[in-house]
Amino acid sequence: MKNYLPRPDLLAGRVILVTGASSGLGRAASLAFARHGATVALLARNEAKLESVYDEIVAAGGPEPAMFPYDLALADDRSLETLAGTIAHHLGRLDGLLHSAHRFDNLTPLHLQTLEQWQTLMRVNLIAPFALTRACLPLLQQAPDASVIFTGETHGHAPRAYWGGYAVAKGGLETLTRIWGDEIGADENPRINTLIPGQVATTLRGRTHPGLSPETLPSVDDLMPCYLYLMGPDSRSVRGQVVECQA
C-alpha cells in the first residue's frame, strides 16, 4: 500500500471531512485529498491554522475547501448533528471522513493518571470519533462510495507501559472498527477501517520518542499513498480492517 500510485483525479467530485486538519497527518492528508480532486471540509480547534491550510489548498489550485472550527473535547450530539447538517446544506454530500484529531498528554504510569485525564483522552480520541461518524452516517450512506478512516496508534494495537489512557482509547477505535465492519453489509456504505501510521516525523512522535532523529523517520507525505488508497475507490473491498501503513 505504501507503493500505491493514485491517479490524479482519484477523489474528483468527492467531499471529505478531515478532523485535526490544521497540523500533522491531518494537514498532510487534507492537502493530498485536495490535490487529487476532493473538496475538503477542514475541522480543527485552531481557526488561524485552519485558514493557513485553506490558503495552501486554494493557492495550489485545489477545489475551494470549507472550514469548521470545532473543539471535539466539547462535542455533544446536538452540535455534531448541526455540523453534519451544515455540511449537507453547504456541500451537498459527504463521501469520506478521516479522523486525525487526537489528544495526548504525556507518557506516565497508570497510577499517576487521573480520572479527569482519562475522561478527556476518551472523549477526544474515542467517543468523539464514534459520535461524529454516527452523526454523519446518513450523509455517508447516501454516497455511492464512502470511506471512514480512524487513525490508530502502534501502542493501541500492541500496548506498552506508560501509554495509559491514550493507548486504551486508540485500542478502542480498533474494536469500534470491527464492530461497525460487522454491522455494515459488504454492499453498504460506508466502509470503515483503522489506519495505523506507525513511526513518522510529527510533533507527537518528537514528544514520545525524543531520542529519535526526525530525519530517520518517514515524513507525513511519505504516508499519503496509504491515506489515498483507503479513502479512494480502489479500496472498496477493504472494510472493518486494522491496517498498518508501514507493515
Could you tell me where the DSSP H helices lie in the chain? 24-35, 47-59, 77-91, 115-122, 128-142, 154-157, 164-183, 203-208, 224-231
67 grid coordinates: 472550514
Cα angle at 94 between 11 and 148, to 5 degrees? 75
Q: Tell me which of 70, 166, 227, 229 is the catalytic residue.
A: 166
H or E segment to which residue 193 belongs: strand 191-196
Taking residue 178's Cβ as centre, other Cβ atoms within 10 Å add up to: 16
Assess contact for 93 and 11: CB atoms under 8 A.
Answer: no
Assess contact for 18 and 240: CB atoms under 8 A.
Answer: no
Task: Please state whether 41 falls in left (phi above 0), alpha (psi between -120 and 50) or beta.
Answer: beta
Classify 129 as helix, strand or coil.
helix
Q: Is 166 a catalytic residue?
A: yes
Active-site residue set = 166
